[in-house]
Amino acid sequence: IAGITQAPTSQILAAGRRMTLRCTQDMRHNAMYWYRQDLGLGLRLIHYSNTAGTTGKGEVPDGYSVSRANTDDFPLTLASAVPSQTSVYFCASSDSGTGSYNEQFFGPGTRLTVL
Amino acid sequence: LAKTTQPISMDSYEGQEVNITCSHNNIATNDYITWYQQFPSQGPRFIIQGYKTKVTNEVASLFIPADRKSSTLSLPRVSLSDTAVYYCLARRWAGNNRKLIWGLGTSLAVNP
**Per-residue pLDDT tens over the stretch B55-72:** 999 999 999 999 999 999
Of residues B99 and B112, the one with the higher pLDDT is B112
Please, what are the domains in chain B? 9-107 (2.60.40.10)
User: In chain B, which residue's Cα lies nearest the Cα of A99?
Assistant: B93
> What mean pLDDT, rounded, does chain A reach?
92
Strands (E), chain B: 9-13, 18-23, 31-38, 45-50, 53-56, 61-64, 70-75, 84-94, 97-102, 106-111
Mean pLDDT of B79-108: 86
Please name the residues between 24 and 43 in chain A that touch chain B, using a CB distance below 8 Å: 31, 33, 40-43
Q: What's residue B3's pLDDT?
A: 79
B:51-70 residues touching chain A, CB 8 A cutoff: 51
Q: What is the pLDDT of residue A24?
A: 97
Mean pLDDT confidence for B76-91: 94
Q: What is the pLDDT of residue B94?
A: 64
pLDDT band at B106 (very low <50, low <70, confident <90, very high): very high
Q: What pLDDT is recorded for position B99?
A: 77
Nearest-CB residue to B87 (from A41, A43, A58)? A43
For the segment B35-41, the average pLDDT, to the nearest whole number, is 95
Among chain B residues, the shortest Cα distance to A36 is held by B43
At residue A96, the pLDDT reads 66
Q: How far is CA B46 from CA A106, B29, B77, in A?
A: 9, 22, 19
Between the alpha carbon of residue B25 and those of residues A21, B20, B22, B50, B74, the distances in Å are: 36, 16, 10, 16, 20
Q: Are A100 and B32 inside 8 Å of each other by CB?
A: yes
Mutate to test the interface with B, among A5, A9, A34, A43 (most CBs of B within 10 A): A43
Integer Cα distance of A32 and B84 in angstroms: 25
CB contacts of A66 in chain B (<8 Å) are none
For chain B, give the mean pLDDT: 90
Whether the per-residue pLDDT at A13 is higher than 60: the answer is: yes
Domains of chain A: 4-114 (2.60.40.10)
Q: Given CB atoms, is B41 within the 8 Å cutoff of chain A? A: yes
A54-108 pLDDT, tens digit each: 999 998 999 999 999 999 999 999 999 999 999 999 999 998 655 545 789 999 9
Chain A contact for B109 (CB, 8 A cutoff): no
Q: Provide, as residue numbers in chain B, all residues whose Cβ is less than 8 Å from the Cβ of A3.
A: none
CA-to-CA distance for A65 and A7, rounded, in angstroms? 17
